[in-house]
């Protein structure tokens, strides 16, 4: 017997040695494959990049995972304690593994054997950090063994607070939220330090399975789990019974978080996003937690967006009703079918989808998607003439039945003052772009790339290259002014023919009116946008000089050196034109447009700053009675300031008595230039006040005529008008700044000569200091300039004005 017991003892010892060897071998093999946990020391999780407007409002966020990293010292104690109570009550006592918890889990899993239920774990917070950061979510004993080994090592290598910081910033809590800070915002719309006890407890209930406790779909389970967490906090002494009872009695209210971002900045934000991606890469953009401060002015952005949308809708209504794009049967399923019917994207926020239930001569009865019944009256459909080819339209409808049919699915807008009255709406198919800049700094204050970002993300202010038409002419005349020409010089407005060479047709440009007016002053050539005068002037000064001017001010670096380019035949972007007009109004200084003021990394370090002005005295750590820094930004002078002011004055004349005279209605000092391309495919207006420059373009993405009457003055100028009307409210009117040396002289605008007592019209002309009136006056006619003598009455002896 003794021999048998000795044998069994030897066998047991041998087996134990074999098991120990096997475990040692397994651990050593696992040890080889363990990831390096030291990477957790300087762990930087993917963090959300945020764009901020000029006034600090959040414009947009970009992230692979919606996460806001919060240092452990900034996380409220109650948040930490709630997660510890729910997930690992002995977190601050154990060495990475909770052995009592492991025993409880093993016993519990033995009871579950054969039931098909998922085995329970006993993972500590440290183990969860090991799994989430370093391992996969595979269900296996090998992974659990790796997790345990790593947890022990992590516990030795790092402080408890560092481990908890990693956990609370990494854990996925559902609702697209990684980490407690993002979850607080996504579920409750609050910062961490604003959360109540019941809200904190709910967040702490989520790690075990966010989908299992979704308050929208599993409210009772979510409340029960929240209350369980509160009970654990009471049990561990973190809250009192009274606090717990009050918290458990409250309903679980989560917010339907809207974007929370600044309205109407989608095009602007997307342009900034592309810039960051291009210069810093997608990893920095979507994971780097960058803080991007932009130059957008939210108020001006909103005004510009509304003005452009209104202008495009007004254009669209001038060209009639294109018809309903969908029709459904009015049967027992029509309400469901209405909800499922898709209409054109990009509707205004005040528009709603509706279906026509009945139609009569005077009204159409409609039902909106939210089941409101209303009517569209014939009197509100006078614009809805049938749109025909060539931008033509049918007659004004005399019956609603000529416009709408039963079952038509349409957009409607409530008419204020009558709860049952609606107006018919349609999304424009015309597009446009607008940019607004500060002419003294180059800040892009507003940017609108189209009617709706939901309809099209293509940015027509920064990505579309379109012919500029007459909006380019100021740079032809600015070139002439720099070359010594005067606003009082005379240019012949008469037929012009250019021989383009063998086998090429003769080029015969014409004025928009198809009429000719003889000799007119250089100023009037701009004010009335005369093509033939512009071509003659361009030929006289030479296209090479105009090409150089175009490059200097930033319109086009590669302007084709052809006379047609002087009429705006070359293409460029809206933002380029606005930037170039800044040079005119700011006294000739180049101010390249910029949208990003500063970029900081996740630690607050500045990694990009637009202004790089050197300032040796700006680096002082504290004030020690030294003089304040004295520095100013130096801008490149690219145009003579006197010539720039002369052009400003001429463009003010455009807004006063020229093609932009509609602006007189604003009773302000404004200036600008209309632009219309051949066949009216593009309509432009670029203009400015002394401190604000805005440019507008209107046209179709696939170029086609806007309609014979849709010039820059008709299609684009009203948008600029509406923008300036609202943007300048509360801003005192001021005149344009006059540089030293300019002489202001009273002249006859028809002759360009000094005014006489009998002149019907007199203007104040801006002349350079070396200009003197004498008996000679420059005339640009066929080919070369000529200087002609004047009679005793000051007349040139040539016909001035007069249609022929």
- Residues with catalytic roles: 87, 470
The DSSP code for 333 is T
> In the sheet where 431-437 sits, what is the strand order?
444-448, 431-437, 692-699, 682-689, 671-676
Asked if residue 254 lies in contact with residue 183, where contact means CB atoms within 8 angstroms, the answer is no
Q: Is 58 exposed, middle or buried (0-12, 13-18, 19+ CB in 10 A)?
A: middle
Q: How far is CA 284 from CA 17, 56, 203, 781, in A?
A: 53, 21, 29, 60
Q: How many CB atoms lie within 10 A of CB 401?
A: 15
Asked if residue 796 lies in contact with residue 788, where contact means CB atoms within 8 angstroms, the answer is yes
Rounded-to-integer distance, Cα 399 and Cα 401, Å: 5
Please list, in sequence order, all residues whose beta carbon lies within 8 angstroms of the beta carbon of residue 313, skipping any fewer than 6 positions away.
428
Asked if residue 296 lies in contact with residue 267, where contact means CB atoms within 8 angstroms, the answer is no
Q: How far is CA 652 from CA 234, 488, 694, 727, in A?
A: 75, 16, 15, 19
Q: How many CB atoms lie within 10 A of CB 261?
A: 16
Please list, in sequence order, all residues whose beta carbon lies within 8 angstroms of the beta carbon of residue 458, skipping any fewer than 6 positions away.
449, 450, 464, 701
Q: Which two tokens stand for residue 149?
A: 């080994």
Q: Which two tokens stand for residue 161?
A: 């607070």
Rounded-to-integer distance, Cα 603 and Cα 476, Å: 50
Q: Which two tokens stand for residue 655?
A: 């807004």
Rounded-to-integer distance, Cα 21 and Cα 32, Å: 16
Asked if residue 385 lies in contact with residue 320, where contact means CB atoms within 8 angstroms, the answer is yes
Rounded-to-integer distance, Cα 277 and Cα 774, Å: 61
Rounded-to-integer distance, Cα 777 and Cα 668, Å: 33
Q: Is 621 exposed, middle or buried (0-12, 13-18, 19+ CB in 10 A)?
A: exposed
Rounded-to-integer distance, Cα 680 and Cα 667, Å: 29
* 58 beta partners: 52
Rounded-to-integer distance, Cα 308 and Cα 453, Å: 13
């Amino acid at each position: 017997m003794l021999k048998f017991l000795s044998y069994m003892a030897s066998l047991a010892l041998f087996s134990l040695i074999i098991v120990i060897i096997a475990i040692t071998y397994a651990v050593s093999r696992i040890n080889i494959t363990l990831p390096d946990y030291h990477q957790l020391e300087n762990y930087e999780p993917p963090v959300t990049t945020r764009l901020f407007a000029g006034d600090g409002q959040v414009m947009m966020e970009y992230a692979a995972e919606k996460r806001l990293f919060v240092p452990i010292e900034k996380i409220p104690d109650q948040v930490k304690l709630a997660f510890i109570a729910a997930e690992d009550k002995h977190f601050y006592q154990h060495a990475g593994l909770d052995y009592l918890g492991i025993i409880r889990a093993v016993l519990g899993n033995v009871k579950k054997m054969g039931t098909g239920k998922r085995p329970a774990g006993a993972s500590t917070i440290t183990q969860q950090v090991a799994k989430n950061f370093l391992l996969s979510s595979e269900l296996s004993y090998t992974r659990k063994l790796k997790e345990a080994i790593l947890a022990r090592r992590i516990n030795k290598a790092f402080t408890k607070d560092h481990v908890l910081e990693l956990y609370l910033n990494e854990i996925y809590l559902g609702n697209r939220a990684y980490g407690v800070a993002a979850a607080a915002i996504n579920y409750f719309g609050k910062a961490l330090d604003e959360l109540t006890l019941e809200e904190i407890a709910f967040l702490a209930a989520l790690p075990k399975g966010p989908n299992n406790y979704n308050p929208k779909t599993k409210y009772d389970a979510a409340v029960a789990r929240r209350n369980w967490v509160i009970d654990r906090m009471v049990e561990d002494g973190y809250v009192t019974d009274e606090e717990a009872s009050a918290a458990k009695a409250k309903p679980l209210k989560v917010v339907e978080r809207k974007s929370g971002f600044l309205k109407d900045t989608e095009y602007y934000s997307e342009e900034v996003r592309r810039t960051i991606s291009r210069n810093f890469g997608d990893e920095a953009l979507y994971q780097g937690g960058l803080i991007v401060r932009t130059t957008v002015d939210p108020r001006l952005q909103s005004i510009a967006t509304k003005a452009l949308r209104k202008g495009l809708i007004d254009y669209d209504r001038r060209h009639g009703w294109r018809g309903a794009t969908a029709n459904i049967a009015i049967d027992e399923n029509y309400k469901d079918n209405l909800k499922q019917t898709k209409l054109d994207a990009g509707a205004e926020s005040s528009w709603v989808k509706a279906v026509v239930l009945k139609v009569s001569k005077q009204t159409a009865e409609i039902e909106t998607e939210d089941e409101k019944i209303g009517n569209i009256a014939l009197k509100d459909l006078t614009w809805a003439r049938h749109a025909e080819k060539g931008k033509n339209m049918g007659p004004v409808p005399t019956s609603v039945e000529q416009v709408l049919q039963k079952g038509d699915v349409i957009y409607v807008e409530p008419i204020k003052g009558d709860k049952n009255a609606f107006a018919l709406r349609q999304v424009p198919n015309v597009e446009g772009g607008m940019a607004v800049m500060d002419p003294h700094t180059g800040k892009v204050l507003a940017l609108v790339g189209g009617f709706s970002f939901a309809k099209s993300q293509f940015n027509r202010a920064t990505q579309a290259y379109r012919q500029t038409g007459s909006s380019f002419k100021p740079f032809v005349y600015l070139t002439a002014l720099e070359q010594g020409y005067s606003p009082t010089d005379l240019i012949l407005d008469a037929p012009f023919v250019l021989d383009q060479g063998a086998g090429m047709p003769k080029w015969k440009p014409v004025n928009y009116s198809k009429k000719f007016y003889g000799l007119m002053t250089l100023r009037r050539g701009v004010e009335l946008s005369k093509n033939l005068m512009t071509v003659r002037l361009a030929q006289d000064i030479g296209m090479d000089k105009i090409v150089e001017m175009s490059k200097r001010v930033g319109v086009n670096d590669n302007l084709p050196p052809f006379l047609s380019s002087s009429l705006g035949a070359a293409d460029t972007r809206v933002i380029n034109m606005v930037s170039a007009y800044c040079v005119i109004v700011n006294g000739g200084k180049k101010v390249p447009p910029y949208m990003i003021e500063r970029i900081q990394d996740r630690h607050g370090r500045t990694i990009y700053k637009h202004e790089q002005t050197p300032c040796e005295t700006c680096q002082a750590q504290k004030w020690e009675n030294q003089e304040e820094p004295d520095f100013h930004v130096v801008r490149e002078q690219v145009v003579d300031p006197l010539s720039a002011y002369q052009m400003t004055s001429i463009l003010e004349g455009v807004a006063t008595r020229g093609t932009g005279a509609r602006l007189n209605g604003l009773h302000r000092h404004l200036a600008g230039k209309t632009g219309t391309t051949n066949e009216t495919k593009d309509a432009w207006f670029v203009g400015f006040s002394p401190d604000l420059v805005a440019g507008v373009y209107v046209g179709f993405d696939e170029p086609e005529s806007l309609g014979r009457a849709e010039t820059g003055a008709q299609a684009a100028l009203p948008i600029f008008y509406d923008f300036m009307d609202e943007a300048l409210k509360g801003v005192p009117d001021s005149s344009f700044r006059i540089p030293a040396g300019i002489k202001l002289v009273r002249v006859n605008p028809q002759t360009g000569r000094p005014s006489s007592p009998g002149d019907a019209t007199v203007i104040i002309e801006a002349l350079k200091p070396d200009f003197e009136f004498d008996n000679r006056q420059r005339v640009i006619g066929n080919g070369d300039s000529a200087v002609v003598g004047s009679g005793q009455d000051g007349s040139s002896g040539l016909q001035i004005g007069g249609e022929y």
